[in-house]
């Protein structure tokens, strides 16, 4: 499933192609929405806004197309007259005189007015969006101190969009590695310094991933590995997807464990856990 950085980059591409232009054609390929396409055609698109893993495309008439990519949804933007190859099911087309935006595979698509946006169950429950420019370190630290989250294990908490919006599976493993924490720990068991480190790392690493097109590894190290001919998929992350491979920092093999059917990756040395005799005091961490 695309995570916050990927959705925001897709929103950037959609905005460049659509915002400020009249949508000459709008076609929904879900029967329940099909009649709305002609009503939106001829309106100007005034904004494309990502909200965590959702996309909001606002039309000048006051309505907004909401979509969530779920596991397989994908937006593709092409020049007018060109049709990108895809075996996916087409769900939505928005075309102007220069570009065509197509949404494939997603089925969570709605047309909402202002009241609908305010009451939407997914949007209403979101925590601070880590990629929203208005989200600050103080905001994410305050969320980490909220009483209702304290009994939650970090493994599940970091996938809860009501905690930090935009996180997903690869960011979860990477944040815990950089923060030196383990997935079994509960938020309430952390010291104040650990909780602040979790908040700060969540914000910084998510924004790094957005700026670097998905690289969560130390950027200097990633650049050096790339120069040596290492593939993007192999230098992109600290631990995610690297089970059995040596940790970039200590050479200990990375371990994968499954929690609720989803993989978490960690380094037993750099993330020894709270009950390890050495704790985390001997681990030297890079600043992010």
pLDDT digits (tens, 9 = 90+) for 64-99: 999 998 878 899 999 998 888 888 999 999 999 999
At 288 the pLDDT is 38
Active site residue 2: yes
Active site residue 262: yes
Arithmetic mean of pLDDT, 172-181: 98
- The structural domains of the chain, with segments of one domain joined by +, span 4-124, 137-266
Report the CATH fold assignment for 4-124.
N-terminal domain of MutM-like DNA repair proteins (3.20.190)
How confident is residue 152, by pLDDT bands cut at 50, 70 and 90?
A: very high
Other CB atoms within 10 Å distance of the CB of residue 86: 12
At 121 the pLDDT is 94
3-state secondary structure of 284: coil
Residues 91 and 103: their CA atoms lie apart, in Å, by 6
* Residue of 177, 181, 180 whose CA lies nearest to 216: 177
At 81 the pLDDT is 83
Arithmetic mean of pLDDT, 230-250: 96
Catalytic residue, chosen from 211, 213, 262, 286, is 262
At 71 the pLDDT is 78
At 212 the pLDDT is 97
DSSP assignment string, 62-129? S-EEEEE-TTT-EEEEEETT------SPEEEEEE-SSEEEEEES--EEEEE-HHHHHH-HHHHT---B
pLDDT, tens digit, 9 for 90 and up, residues 186-210: 999 999 999 999 999 999 999 999 9
Give me the chain's average pLDDT, please.
93
Catalytic residue, chosen from 8, 9, 53, 249, is 53
At 281 the pLDDT is 39
Residue 107 has pLDDT above 90, yes or no: no
Judged by average pLDDT, the poorest of 34-38, 63-67, 237-241, 273-277 is 273-277
Positive or negative torsion for Cα 211, 212, 213, 216: negative
Residue 279 has pLDDT above 50, yes or no: no
CATH assignment of 137-266, among 2.40.30.10, 2.102.10.10, 1.10.8.50, 3.30.465.10: 1.10.8.50
At 275 the pLDDT is 62
Other CB atoms within 10 Å distance of the CB of residue 107: 12
Arithmetic mean of pLDDT, 10-17: 97
pLDDT, tens digit, 9 for 90 and up, residues 24-69: 999 999 999 999 999 999 999 999 999 988 999 999 999 999 999 8
Residue 261 has pLDDT above 90, yes or no: no
In degrees and rounded to multiples of 5, residue 200 shows phi and psi of -65, -40
At 1 the pLDDT is 65
Catalytic residue, chosen from 2, 50, 128, 272, is 2
Strand partners, 55: 50, 67
At 276 the pLDDT is 56
Catalytic residue, chosen from 3, 6, 27, 194, is 3
In degrees and rounded to multiples of 5, residue 94 shows phi and psi of -130, 120
How confident is residue 108, by pLDDT bands cut at 50, 70 and 90?
A: very high
């Amino acid at each position: 499933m695309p995570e916050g950085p990927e959705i925001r980059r897709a929103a950037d591409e959609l905005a460049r192609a659509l915002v400020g232009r009249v949508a000459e054609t709008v076609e929904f390929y879900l029967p329940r929405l099909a009649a709305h396409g002609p009503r939106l055609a001829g309106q100007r698109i005034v904004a494309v806004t990502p909200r965590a893993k959702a996309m909001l495309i606002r039309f000048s008439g006051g309505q907004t197309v909401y979509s969530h990519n779920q596991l397989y949804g994908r937006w593709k933007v092409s020049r007018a007259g060109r049709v990108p190859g895809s075996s996916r099911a087409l769900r939505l087309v928005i075309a102007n005189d220069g570009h065509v935006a197509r949404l494939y595979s997603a089925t969570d698509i709605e047309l909402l007015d202002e009241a609908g946006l305010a009451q939407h169950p997914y949007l209403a429950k979101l925590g601070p969006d880590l990629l929203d420019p208005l989200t600050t370190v103080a905001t994410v630290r305050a969320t980490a101190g909220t009483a209702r989250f304290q009994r939650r294990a970090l493994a599940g908490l970091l996938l809860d969009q009501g905690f930090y919006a935009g996180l997903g599976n690869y960011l979860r493993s990477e944040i815990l590695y950089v923060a030196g924490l383990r997935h079994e720990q509960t938020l309430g068991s952390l010291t104040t310094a650990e909780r602040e480190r979790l908040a700060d790392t969540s914000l910084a690493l998510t924004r790094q991933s957005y700026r670097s097109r998905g690289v969560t590894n130390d950027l200097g190290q990633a650049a050096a590995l790339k120069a040596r001919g290492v593939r993007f998929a192999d230098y992109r992350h600290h631990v995610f997807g690297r089970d059995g491979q040596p940790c970039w920092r200590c050479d200990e093999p990375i371990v994968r464990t499954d929690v609720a059917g989803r993989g978490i990756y960690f380094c037993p040395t750099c993330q020894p856990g709270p009950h390890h005799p050495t704790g985390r005091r001997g681990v030297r961490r890079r600043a992010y």
